[in-house]
């Protein structure tokens, strides 16, 4: 990961603290901020790194298939956890509680689960389980100082891939 902004460095510090433990982690942030990449990074730093990493999109889940996801030892990355139906949230909560020690759950959302909870649109038990260690992934507008680093990284990557020597002027 690339960044030196205070937002980014604090996020990485928090990930280093949380990754070795098996409690659930909730990633939140706008679309495209890298929640999936962060989930996999957390997995690689965890005690579950030698086991499978399975990504599921909760928007595509049927309630009857939720329990089948909680089999074996693995990291389960549940994208769009806020899209589960009320019944799906109950089933997910029960399955997650039963699988303690065998499943490392990392969930993500683009909306505030707290607001959904206040509006009685999200299960309080699931909120409490997932909100053990919440992490906000900052968007680039909150880490503008990292943009030159990212430009340099991607420009170098493109130059190496296509055997080019593209540079940017200082005005760019």
Gap between the Cα atoms of 99 and 84, Å rounded = 19
Token code pair at residue 143? 């880490």
pLDDT at site 167: 86
pLDDT at site 129: 94
Reference 64, options 46, 86, 87, 47; nearest CA is 87
The Cα-based distances of 84 to 79, 91, 92, 127, 141 in angstroms read 10, 10, 9, 12, 29
pLDDT at site 102: 94
DSSP class of 23: S
Coil, helix or strand for 131?
coil
pLDDT at site 150: 87
pLDDT at site 36: 97
pLDDT at site 147: 86
Residue 132 near residue 104 (C-beta atoms within 8 A)? no
pTM: 0.87
Chain centroid to CA 27: how far? 4
- Note down pLDDT in tens along the chain; length 172 residues: 788 888 889 999 999 999 999 899 999 999 999 999 999 999 999 999 999 999 999 999 888 889 999 999 999 999 999 999 999 999 999 999 999 889 999 999 999 999 999 999 999 999 999 999 999 998 888 888 888 888 888 999 899 999 988 888 877 7
């Amino acid at each position: 990961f690339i960044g030196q902004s205070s937002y980014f460095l604090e996020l990485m510090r928090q990930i280093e603290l949380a990754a070795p433990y098996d409690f659930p982690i909730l990633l939140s942030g706008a679309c495209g901020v890298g929640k999936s990449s962060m989930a996999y990074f957390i997995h690689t730093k965890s005690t579950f790194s030698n086991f499978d990493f399975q990504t599921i999109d909760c928007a595509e889940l049927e309630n009857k298939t939720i329990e089948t996801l909680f089999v074996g030892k693995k990291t389960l990355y549940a994208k769009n956890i806020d899209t589960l139906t009320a019944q799906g949230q109950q089933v997910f909560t029960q399955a997650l509680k039963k699988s303690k020690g065998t499943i490392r759950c990392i969930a993500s959302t683009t909306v505030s689960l707290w607001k959904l909870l206040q509006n009685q649109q999200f299960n309080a038990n699931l909120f409490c389980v997932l909100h053990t260690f919440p992490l906000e992934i900052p968007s680039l507008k909150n880490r503008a100082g990292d943009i030159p680093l990212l430009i340099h990284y991607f420009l170098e990557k493109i130059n190496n891939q296509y055997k080019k020597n593209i540079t940017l002027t200082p005005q760019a």
